[in-house]
Structure 1
Amino acid sequence: MKLLKPGIVTLLVTYVIALTLMVMPMPATFDVFRPDWVTLVMLYWVIALPHRVSIGTALILGVLSDVLLGSIVGVHALGMVVVAYLAARNFQRIRNFALIQQAVVIAVLILLKRFIIFEANVFLHDAEFTLSYFWPVLTSAVFWLWVFPLLRKVRRQFGVS
């Protein structure tokens, strides 16, 4: 009897890599530009496999992000769930966009996520706005041009469906 469905190990490995990249130490000057790796990977799988990866996965990844980043549990989860819902609802449209258009959609989704997290932090403990908070939106859009083809190759090579 198999304990895991085919391809689930590949999904888990990509999530672990993304979570590791999220907390990997970086120089302070570059850390402000860190792409939102977990959201990028989660969005790829939501768009590629909406029947297997959706809101439940986003909730789990959001809670794991909260724990790893030391934030209040539920803040990142809320942002991830909203973004996953929107991506899952529109996955067919997003799939048909050119890669540059997809990067713009991903930037908008990550901007929405970061705005939700910022507003939750303002509500919970009076966070102050700095423009640097939104730099990861641009870097995530740029990295989408690399992450999308890479994960598509992984999906095809390991037969994840």
Structure 2
Amino acid sequence: MRPAQGLGFIYLSLITALLLTVIPVPFQFSLFRPDWVLLVLMYWTLALPRRVNIGTAFFMGFLTDVLVGTVLGVNALAFSVVAFVMAVNHLQIRNFGVIQQSLLVGLLLALYQLLLFWLSNFLTGVNFRPAFLWPVLTGMLVWPWLFWFLRRYRRKLKIQ
């Protein structure tokens, strides 16, 4: 497969994650919505750290800020920090089993939520609510399925 086609699938998966982030759902379910963009970014950073890196994470975070309507740069910074941690440790994380990866993804999602809270509290005075942590739990539960799905298509399309 040509490199441009592989990059096209990567960006298609990221755009799909953006759509899953902004698609309307009932309020009761919106509290449990996983951070789709960050999960897909973590997968691609783990699988192909030279193609999807901190710059991609910053750009996708900026797009997420625009689409969701948060203060510009909040998601961009938080995505970049998580992508950095994932990229630096990608060789060790690849050797983990899917359950261990899911637990680590949960820690990184908790770091992301903590960064979002700190930045939002500093900029707009948001108070902490335990509901901030529901996406961490759902992200951990979604990770094995997302990992399997994206890895299957990455191998099928021979994306390197």
What is the aligned length? 159
Distance 2:5 2:93 in 1: 25
Residue in 1 that maps onto 2:64: 65
Normalized against structure 2, the TM-score is what?
0.97
Residue in 2 that maps onto 1:17: 16
Residue in 2 that maps onto 1:121: 120
Normalized against structure 1, the TM-score is what?
0.96
Residue in 1 that maps onto 2:74: 75
Distance 1:19 1:65 in 2: 7
Residue in 1 that maps onto 2:53: 54
Distance 1:127 1:48 in 2: 35
Gaps of 5+ in 1: none
> Sequence identity, in percent?
42
1:65 deviates by 0.5
Instruction: Please tell me the root mean square deviation across aligned C-alpha atoms, in Å.
Output: 1.1
1:6 deviates by 3.5
Residue in 2 that maps onto 1:91: 90
1:145 deviates by 1.1
Distance 1:159 1:118 in 2: 39
1:51 deviates by 1.1
Distance 1:67 1:134 in 2: 22
1:158 deviates by 1.3
1:16 deviates by 0.7
Moved beyond 3 Å, runs of 4+: none
Distance 2:145 2:41 in 1: 15
Residue in 2 that maps onto 1:110: 109
